[in-house]
Amino acid sequence: MDLIGNLATGFSVALTVANLAYCLAGAVIGTLIGVLPGIGPVATMAMLLPITATLPPTSSLIMLAGIYYGAQYGGSTTAILINLPGESSSSVTTIDGYQMARRGRAGPALAAAAIASFFAGSVSTLVIALFALPLTAVALRFGPPEYFALMVFGLVSSVALASGSTLKAIGMILLGLLLGLVGTDLYTGAPRFTFGSMDLADGIDFVAVAVGVFGLSEILRNLEDESPTRSAAIQKVSGLWPSREDLRRIVAPTLRGTFIGAALGILPGGGALLSAFAAYTIEKKLSRNSREFGSGAIEGVAAPESANNAGAQTSFIPMLTLGIPSNPVMALMIGAMIMQGIAPGPNVATEKPELFWGVIASMWVGNAMLVLLNLPLIGIWVRLLSIPYYVLFPAIVAFCAIGVYSVDNNAFDLFEVTVFGLLGYALVKLDCEPAPLVLGFILGPMIEEHFRRSMIISLGDPSVFVTRPISAGLLFLAAVALVIVSLPAIASKREKVFVDE
Amino acid sequence: MITNAKDLATCGIFIAFGVFFAATALGTLDVGSAMRMGPGYFPLLLAGLLILIGIVIGVRGFVSTSAPLQPAPWRAVLMISLAPIIFGVTVRGLGLPAAIFLSTCAAAMASRRMSVPRAVIVSGAIAVFSTAVFVYALRLPMPVVGSWLSGS
């Protein structure tokens, strides 16, 4: 069977000594930043992007992927032990995980999180392998109008699934698209919005935008309130292994969580956070032990942890098969591919099978490493939390500066970091989510190219987007999604969901 | 009057960017027609939509309320913004360790819990650490001693 052959190719790539080392490095860095609040996978990947550009393409993607799912694991550790989600996607885990820890059951909670995550990671690796080729085959038949419609659908659903005001998210997308267009026009060579600056001729540097909007503005937000919030009171973790009763109780929640996460992860804008929240809510309704939820139910740990891991992983599907990022992390992966000289899109699977399947196989390897790494080393991770923030954030600023500078050795990129840090912070203060802006920024040039090509094919007739069935269908879905999130009943419920986080 | 300050400010930012891009597109770029699009066509379209969204948010801002804006930590905003600029200006002239030291000192002073001696110690440690990791271990092409210091 093809699938087995492909996976064999993948594992032969992923299991080379060098790639195992990069996978481990990614997973360790990911866990580290997952444990540390105040620095997320996006800023870290942006920082390391220039360094990975010196590696072979497959190794660099393997390492970056490791950072992403490693952060999901790390985030849950602090969520359980000190009621502080290292990553936003672990925030639901704090509800029951911390309660378990307070009752001296931190060990089983951590083990349940690790087992559920590992199971979800393994299943979703298979899901990616199963779905990747059929989707690629469909995508290869896409013309410019279909691609345009697909990107519109992607951007709209990222709005639907983002928190906060729908209008503001649309505005952020438009602003991102416009900023993405700065630079030389591909068709005519005309410089756009550069004001004669050579530094802007190649466009605004993506790494600078990501570091500014996610790195600096996050630091500023953390510095708003400097009262010490981290409790050093960490119970000693004893009795790591869950009882047979615990294991029995987490089977069904893990299965359901994996399914929910895998399904939501594929959607643009979905990914880990929403998956975790949905899984917890559904589990609370379905579980026979729903009374225990909120006071230390092990199901309340297993369900969101399996879902956030599954969601984190299946969000690779649109990126690998269509070349379309569904969240900022995937936008960075695409940025990494472009820096390596690989054109993202459906051709990657056929032209670079060793890269495509190597990255997929490495996710399973990485998940296995994380289980081995996390459970025995919990003590070390927890000790990291005693590093005070006033030591941490200057180091983050320094690494950001070095990372951005090393892309092109150009000081101008650092000025862009400051500009986007300030813009990002101002917009966050006004309740505008930065993620849609970054998605728009990455997609800006692509969406314009497909728009212009479509209009050339159709001789200037915009109806081309609705007369071709696939394109019409995608635009229809986008419209439906927009209408649904604007309905007052849904809108108020949505607000409540994201407040509950 | 009941207004939503956050929405009004967002409206202002969106409209400012929209007008800026639209005016630049109209002023400096060939817009073309739907049949034969110039480099200015798509930006103009997007800028128009952005202005429209800005207006709607603005109108909504006059009829709703929001939680009051939390004051920004101005010292942090200033120091954190300066740090990348200091690094960018000095890295070639002073070399990586010195540039990191200066920019990290600035960044460190963003925290109200930071004192000058502490900032110097923290920044010194970060400068040594990053030089070891990035220049010697990862071999990024960055000077340890910059051109201003080596006299070339």
SS (H, E, C) A138-170: HHHCCCHHHHHHHHHHHHHHHHHHCCCCHHHHH
The domain total for chain A is: 1
User: Model confidence at B105, in pLDDT bands (50, 70, 90)?
Assistant: very high
User: Are residues B133 and B89 part of one domain?
Assistant: yes
Residue of A nearest to B54 (CA): A171
User: Are residues B124 and B82 part of one domain?
Assistant: yes
Q: Is residue B68 part of a domain?
A: no
CA separation for the pair B140, A6 (Å, rounded): 36
Report chain A's mean pLDDT, rounded to a whole number: 83
The domain total for chain B is: 2
Q: Is residue B52 part of a domain?
A: yes
Last residue of a domain, one of B20, B38, B63: B63
> Cβ B37–A452 below 8 Å, yes or no?
yes
User: Are residues B100 and B45 part of one domain?
Assistant: no
Q: Is residue B31 part of a domain?
A: yes
User: Model confidence at A99, in pLDDT bands (50, 70, 90)?
Assistant: confident
Q: Looking at beta carbons, which residues of chain B come within 8 Å of A459?
A: 35
Report chain B's mean pLDDT, rounded to a whole number: 88
Structural domain harbouring B36 = 5-63
B window 69-108, beta carbon within 8 A of A = 69-70, 72-73, 76-77, 80-85, 87-89, 91-92, 96, 100, 103-104, 107-108
Segment A453-467 shows an average pLDDT of: 88
Question: Per-residue pLDDT for A496 more than 80?
Answer: no
User: Are residues B80 and B110 part of one domain?
Assistant: yes
pLDDT digits (tens, 9 = 90+) for A411-450: 899 999 999 999 999 998 998 888 888 888 888 888 998 9
CA separation for the pair B37, B90 (Å, rounded): 43
User: Are residues B135 and B113 part of one domain?
Assistant: yes
pLDDT digits (tens, 9 = 90+) for B8-48: 999 999 999 999 999 999 988 888 888 888 899 999 999 99
A291 vs chain B: nearest CA distance in angstroms? 34
User: Are residues B80 and B38 part of one domain?
Assistant: no
What pLDDT was estimated at residue B46? 95
Minimum-distance CB partner of A414 among B36, B87, B142? B87
Last residue of a domain, one of B36, B63, B90: B63
> Cβ A188–B39 below 8 Å, yes or no?
yes
Of chain A, the percentage scoring pLDDT greater than 70 comes to 91
Question: Per-residue pLDDT for A498 more than 70?
Answer: no
User: Are residues B80 and B40 part of one domain?
Assistant: no
Structural domain harbouring A484 = 2-500
Q: Looking at beta carbons, which residues of chain A come within 8 Å of B13?
A: 426-427, 430
Segment A261-278 shows an average pLDDT of: 77
Question: Per-residue pLDDT for A318 more than 70?
Answer: yes
Question: ipTM > 0.90?
Answer: yes
| Tokens coding B4 | 């939503």
Cβ-based neighbours of A35, under 8 Å, separated by 6 or more: A74, A75, A77, A78, A86, A381, A382, A384, A385
User: Are residues B82 and B55 part of one domain?
Assistant: no
What pLDDT was estimated at residue A421? 93
User: Model confidence at A20, in pLDDT bands (50, 70, 90)?
Assistant: very high
CA distances from A29 to A23, A25, A36, A44, A66 (A): 10, 6, 11, 9, 8
Q: Is residue B137 part of a domain?
A: yes
Question: Per-residue pLDDT for A386 more than 50?
Answer: yes
Question: Per-residue pLDDT for A488 more than 70?
Answer: no
User: Are residues B101 and B44 part of one domain?
Assistant: no
Q: Is residue B152 part of a domain?
A: no
User: Are residues B98 and B37 part of one domain?
Assistant: no
